[in-house]
Amino acid sequence: MTDLRVATITGEGATLDGAAVDGFRDSLRGPLLSSSDAGYDETRKVWNGMIDRRPALIARCAGLADVVAAVRFARSRELLVSVRGGGHNAPGVAVCEGGLMIDLAGMRGVRVDPAQRTARAEGGATWADFDRETQAFGLATTGGAISNTGIGGLTLGGGLGWLAGKYGLVCDNLLSVDLVTADGTVLVASATENADLFWGLRGGGGNFGVVTSFEYRLHPVGPVLAGPVLYPFAKARDALTLYRDFAGSIPDEVNTLGELLTAPDGNPVAAIAVCYNGSHEAGEKVIRPLRALVPPLADEIAPTPYCKIQTLFDEAFVRGRRYYFKSNFTRRISDEMIDTLVEHFRVAPSPMSMVYFQQLGKAANRVGATATAFSHRDALCEWGCDAVWLDPAEDAANIRWAREVAEAMRPFTTGSDYVNHIGLEAEEGTDRIKAAFGANYDRLVTLKNRYDPTNLFRHNQNIKPTA
């Protein structure tokens, strides 16, 4: 191949000679793509249609050895690197401009050990991949609420999900990982091996290396009592107040989401969605208050296969649309927050947009703030504002709306964003990134100094080394 201009971590850029690129290609089992290759454009695209970056090279890794080769190649030439797991991150940090994208989309295998109640999944698997395999044995672990989200990014940032009331966050169910560090070394991290690193991988994001496989603890999960109840928008304040009271008083078996959104018939509505993971008879009693507020427009809470509830919101988040998200953790939901969300939702420029509260979950709250790198254990929930639209000409109006909602909500929140919803430092600023890691930031810097002193893995919610 001809010489190739690439972005580097020095910021100066470099030229790779064609022979070096050919040698790198030959060292891989999976394909290495550049802009002239078939499939390049499709591969560089991620879930958010707003993201339009062009890596100089994309290594479509077929296994751990390819990841090792890609990391070593990048490290030796100081290439700018990004890592793609499920490619679902809204700010699109999986794709870098001009550098090397290490693409794990071809690594999606999942193996369940039903006797031990564990599962091991490759770093590019999605929750749909994972849930399908584990549910074949009637097992599951806490996973993200959209089925095509990657297990990779979501787990490393903490991982909120329907089962967190009983089993904690996704990262609380992580048992071990296989990781390729910045110098191309392969390590196992678990409670007993490289325990400091294991601590950092449970909430510290993609800062410490490429995880080629994740091992999780599983739990018996049968059909759940789950689904949404919809209320007229005229009762939005009452519905969100009910949500607050309900979320504050539920048993471990339940987790919740409260939302304002536009129904398929074009009318704005308030919704409370629940997932009760336990006896349906007991669950019916617990959810009764949700049915008592005015006659609901629709009551879709019913016994549901777990894999189905994991796709409940998929249709609202179609791949390729334009997305801009803002969110923050909050310890309580005040009347002012409810008013602010209702008023701002009324003027959303796009009917596809929504605002929501996603509950952390009771078991997730019981873990200590420094027990894992995910520090926001005292949050009741994350509030979020998802701007969703189709036309690039409407980018500015939708982004402005999301920022305005976030500014209006900020005084009522902890001021800490969820790591998995914030983007690159240039967009977010250093302080917001530090706040997202909360009290654990300094310990994470110590780990970064040890495992990635040249900051190869910076194209994420970047923790800067000081070494």
Ligand X SMILES: Cc1cc2nc3c(=O)[nH]c(=O)nc-3n(C[C@H](O)[C@H](O)[C@H](O)COP(=O)(O)OP(=O)(O)OC[C@H]3O[C@@H](n4cnc5c(N)ncnc54)[C@H](O)[C@@H]3O)c2cc1C
Per CB under 6 A, residues contacting ligand X are: 46, 82-90, 93-94, 104, 123, 144-146, 149-150, 152-154, 156-157, 159-161, 205-206, 210-211, 317, 420-421, 460
CB atoms within 10 A of CB 443: 17
The residue type of 76 is: S
Radius of gyration, CA atoms only, the chain: 22
- From residue 302, give the alpha-carbon distance in Å to each of 12, 270, 382: 57, 19, 25
> Would you give the end-to-end CA distance of the chain in angstroms?
37
Q: Which contiguous run of DSSP H or E holds residue 302?
A: strand 302-304
Q: Which contiguous run of DSSP H or E holds residue 103?
A: strand 100-103
CA distance 417 to 326: 8
Which of 179, 301 has the CB closer to ligand X?
A: 179
Q: Residue 341 Cβ, how far from ligand X at the closest point, in Å?
A: 18
Q: Residue 85 Cβ, how far from ligand X at the closest point, in Å?
A: 2
Q: Residue 368 Cβ, how far from ligand X at the closest point, in Å?
A: 19
Which of 28, 293 has the CB closer to ligand X?
A: 28
The token duo for 148 is: 């095509």
8 Å CB contact between 400 and 420: no
Q: Residue 232 Cβ, how far from ligand X at the closest point, in Å?
A: 25
Q: Residue 438 Cβ, how far from ligand X at the closest point, in Å?
A: 16
Q: Which residues contact 219 (CB under 8 A, 6 or more apart)?
A: 117, 139, 140, 141, 163, 166, 167
Question: Residue 415 gets which letter from DSSP?
Answer: S
Which of 47, 296 has the CB closer to ligand X?
A: 47
Which of 145, 242 has the CB closer to ligand X?
A: 145
Widest pairwise Cα distance in the chain: 70
Q: Residue 39 Cβ, how far from ligand X at the closest point, in Å?
A: 18
Which of 140, 156 has the CB closer to ligand X?
A: 156
Q: Residue 18 Cβ, how far from ligand X at the closest point, in Å?
A: 28
CA distance 157 to 423: 12
Q: Residue 152 Cβ, how far from ligand X at the closest point, in Å?
A: 2
Which of 89, 134 has the CB closer to ligand X?
A: 89
Q: Residue 136 Cβ, how far from ligand X at the closest point, in Å?
A: 22
Which of 141, 420 has the CB closer to ligand X?
A: 420
Which of 44, 296 has the CB closer to ligand X?
A: 44
Which of 57, 293 has the CB closer to ligand X?
A: 57
8 Å CB contact between 159 and 143: yes
Which of 149, 416 has the CB closer to ligand X?
A: 149
Q: Residue 305 Cβ, how far from ligand X at the closest point, in Å?
A: 18
Burial of 431 (0-12, 13-18, 19+ CB in 10 A): exposed
No. of helices (H) and no. of strands (E), the chain: 16, 21
Closest CA to 217 of 265, 174, 264: 174
Q: Which residues contact 334 (CB under 8 A, 6 or more apart)?
A: 412
Q: Residue 336 Cβ, how far from ligand X at the closest point, in Å?
A: 25
CA distance 420 to 89: 7
Reduced to 3 states (helix: H, G, I; strand: E, B; else coil), residue 172 is helix
Which of 104, 286 has the CB closer to ligand X?
A: 104
The token duo for 108 is: 């999606």
Pairing of strands 210-217, 219-220: unpaired
Give the distance from CA 52 to its chain's centroid: 20
CA distance 448 to 226: 41
Burial 169-201, CB ≥16 within 10 A → b, else e? bbbbbbbbbbbbbbebebbebeeeebeebbbbb
